A and B are shown apart, each in its own frame.
Chain A
Amino acid sequence: MPQTLTEKILSRAAGKSVSPGDVVEINVDIAAFHDLTGYHVIEVMEKAGMLKVFDKQKIVIAFDHLAPPPDVRSAEIQTQIRKFVKQLSIPNFHDINVGILHQILLEKYANPGYVIVAADSHTTTSGAVGAFAQGLGASDVAAAVITGKTWIMVPQPFKITLEGKPGKWINGKDVSLKILGDFKADYFNGMSIEVFVKEPSAFPMDFRATVSNMGIEMNADALMFVPDEETINYIKTNRGYEPPTIRPDEEAKYVDEYTIELNKLEPLVAAPHSVDNVKTVNEVEGLDVDQVYIGSCTNGRLSDFEMAAKILKGKRVKTRCIAIPASYDLFKKAMDLGYIEILVNAGCVVTYGTCGPCLGGHFGVAGPGETIVSTSSRNFKGRMGSNDSKVYLSGPAVAAATALEGKITDPRRFS
């Protein structure tokens, strides 16, 4: 029988042919966690009396949510995890100087066809290279870390096709928001989304990572880009080897499908307090903003900084603007390309490799009554700090244009 990408990956992982609706035990290729959930994972392992890992090479740990630690408890959490890493000799450990877990998984570990589970919902990001990747809670991840297995209900596959080329200021965020606006946040519950890109080079890995990242906002079980030459080029360039290829069969059946014409997209935003409260930038243009955040595992990549730098070059921002590349490697690249200098000269506060403001953690928490434009993934009530703050989600072009004008601004004014 012809199989979708979802069925192919999960059949291999289950060691038998699976179909949507089946509940099966599967082997995982990578189990990962970060500081904020990691101490909880270790706590569960300790309580179960099973402080062991199924395969050291397949565990990935990164410090990002509390990095560098903003208080003593955060430092204590990191100390506990460093002790665990040392005790079990975990090789793939990334301390505060490397970056956000999902970006590191993409840069160094995720391969097409992999099953990846991690104690963070945005694990879906690794779907950008065609991995079936999903977030789980601390208990489930603890079980996966110990046994190398988890259980899953095989999701219903849904096909999305991206056609044409996106315009100058359009980014993966606009595709995510388009899907969320059209389908709403509950539609894909129990489904996995497989995305086919008609012109692979027109939708680069950075854009794909943003869309996969927000697969969890669509409540999809996974959001995977079907591996193509763009996937192979990305892994070859970053890691020096050609990844295994896996594609769905031509005749594979999907529950439904949907096409997005990239050239017709316009800059979109998600208004408070819901990710599917999507509007065009023109519908909210002119609204006063207190702070802009460019970064996070959603939109902290090189092309995001390139877009922001194009808009901010030689100018000064009118709002507070915080900019955080998603990894130290990206920070260095952005520095070499001059983007960091442009942002600093424009008045942005720039640091690297922390989740910081995205979850109201540190380095830019929203105060009462404040309005934020953020390139991160969520605008839930109180997400970035005060319950009385408002978060508008956007891509980096809208965010940079907004920082420049002090109010929500259409980046197409900067052609």
Chain B
Amino acid sequence: MIVEGKVLKFGDKIDTDIIIPARYLKYTDPQYLAQHAMEPLDPEFYKKASAGVILVAGKVFGMGSSREQAAIALKAAGVKAIIAESFARIFYRNAINNGLPAIVLPDATKLINQDDYVKVNVETGEIIVNNQKVYKGRGITGMPLKILESGGLLDYLKKVSVKG
């Protein structure tokens, strides 16, 4: 599974109240959530992400709330994958459960710049920046990969229960 796109870069500790503020949590419609993604930091995020982007961020991306709308909003806004120095545990699971690849790359914010063009091999964690530099992040394997390839936990569960 290869995903690619232009980089939108953020810093450390991007929390879930930034990704999707609590006032939007009464709905789960992806398009509605997408319009408010990252609103406190950048009200124009939705427009910037719509062409399909790769987010690059620092430490504990997605820290805070369990709100699954955070992953739904980013994916629906056009985020193809997130490369971060580390992820908060709940967000990481929510991302995988919603078919949004999350790749750990220590020093990601030092190695990759805003507007770089990035190609990510989700399974191996290989990251190619501007068709030149290659970095090795932590890929997604095992059950999380199966969930991701199914498009999310719901579709994975459906598939498994049909087989079972």
Contact between chains at A143 and B153 (CB < 8 Å): yes
* With known contacts A135-B90, A137-B94, A43–B28 Cβ distance under 8 A: yes
**Residue A350 at the B interface, CB < 8 A?**
no
**Residue B64 at the A interface, CB < 8 A?**
yes
Distance between Cα atoms of A136 and B153 in the complex (Å): 13
Instruction: Collect the chain B residues with CB atoms within 8 Å of residue A217's CB.
Output: 63
Instruction: Collect the chain B residues with CB atoms within 8 Å of residue A121's CB.
Output: 64-66, 90
Contact between chains at B67 and A380 (CB < 8 Å): no
What residues make up the interface of A, taking CB atoms closer than 8 Å to B?
A: 23, 36-37, 40, 43-44, 47-50, 66, 73-74, 77, 119-121, 123, 134-140, 143, 151, 185-186, 189-190, 216-217, 219, 221, 274, 359-361, 378, 380-383, 387
* Shortest CB distance A200–B (Å): 29
* Shortest CB distance B123–A (Å): 17
**Residue B109 at the A interface, CB < 8 A?**
no
* Shortest CB distance B1–A (Å): 20
**Residue B26 at the A interface, CB < 8 A?**
yes
Contact between chains at A219 and B60 (CB < 8 Å): yes
Contact between chains at A382 and B21 (CB < 8 Å): yes
Q: For the A-B complex with A23-B142, A136-B93 known, give 19 more contacts whose Cβ atoms are closer than 8 Å.
A: A23-B143, A36-B25, A36-B26, A40-B69, A121-B64, A135-B90, A137-B66, A137-B71, A137-B90, A137-B94, A139-B152, A140-B94, A186-B86, A359-B65, A378-B64, A380-B18, A381-B18, A381-B40, A383-B17
* With known contacts A23-B142, A73-B26, A360-B22, A139–B98 Cβ distance under 8 A: yes
**Residue B41 at the A interface, CB < 8 A?**
yes
**Residue B12 at the A interface, CB < 8 A?**
yes
Contact between chains at A137 and B89 (CB < 8 Å): no
Contact between chains at A139 and B86 (CB < 8 Å): no
**Residue B154 at the A interface, CB < 8 A?**
yes
* Shortest CB distance B58–A (Å): 9
Instruction: Collect the chain A residues with CB atoms within 8 Å of residue B41's CB.
Output: 381
Distance between Cα atoms of A134 and B89 in the complex (Å): 10
Contact among A40, A73, A119, A143 for B157, CB-based, below 8 A: A143
Q: Is the interface of A mostly helix, strand, loop or mixed?
A: loop
Contact among B17, B66, B152 for A136, CB-based, below 8 A: B66
Contact between chains at B157 and A137 (CB < 8 Å): no
Contact among B17, B22, B26 for A381, CB-based, below 8 A: B17
Which residues between 89 and 104 of chain B lie within 8 Å of chain A, taking CB atoms? 89-90, 93-94, 97-98
Distance between Cα atoms of A383 and B22 in the complex (Å): 8
Contact among A74, A139, A221, A361 for B89, CB-based, below 8 A: A221
Distance between Cα atoms of A216 and B89 in the complex (Å): 10
**Residue B59 at the A interface, CB < 8 A?**
yes
Instruction: Collect the chain A residues with CB atoms within 8 Å of residue B22's CB.
Output: 36, 359-361, 383
Contact between chains at A139 and B64 (CB < 8 Å): no
Contact among B27, B60, B66, B158 for A119, CB-based, below 8 A: B66
Instruction: Collect the chain B residues with CB atoms within 8 Å of residue A381's CB.
Output: 15, 17-18, 40-41
Between B66, B69, B90, the greatest number of chain A beta carbons within 10 A of the residue's beta carbon is seen for: B66
Contact between chains at B59 and A186 (CB < 8 Å): yes
Q: Mark B76-114, 1 if CB is under 8 A from A, else 0.
A: 000000000010111001100110000000000000000
Instruction: Collect the chain B residues with CB atoms within 8 Å of residue A185's CB.
Output: 13, 59-60, 63
7 contacts between A and B (CB under 8 A): A44-B154, A121-B66, A137-B66, A139-B68, A139-B152, A140-B94, A361-B23
Instruction: Collect the chain B residues with CB atoms within 8 Å of residue A143's CB.
Output: 153, 157
* Shortest CB distance B104–A (Å): 10
Instruction: Collect the chain B residues with CB atoms within 8 Å of residue A189's CB.
Output: 60, 86, 88-89
* Shortest CB distance B28–A (Å): 6
Instruction: Collect the chain A residues with CB atoms within 8 Å of residue B68's CB.
Output: 37, 40, 137-139
Which residues between 2 and 35 of chain B lie within 8 Å of chain A, taking CB atoms? 12-13, 15-18, 21-23, 25-28
* With known contacts A37-B66, A137-B97, A185-B63, A382–B89 Cβ distance under 8 A: no
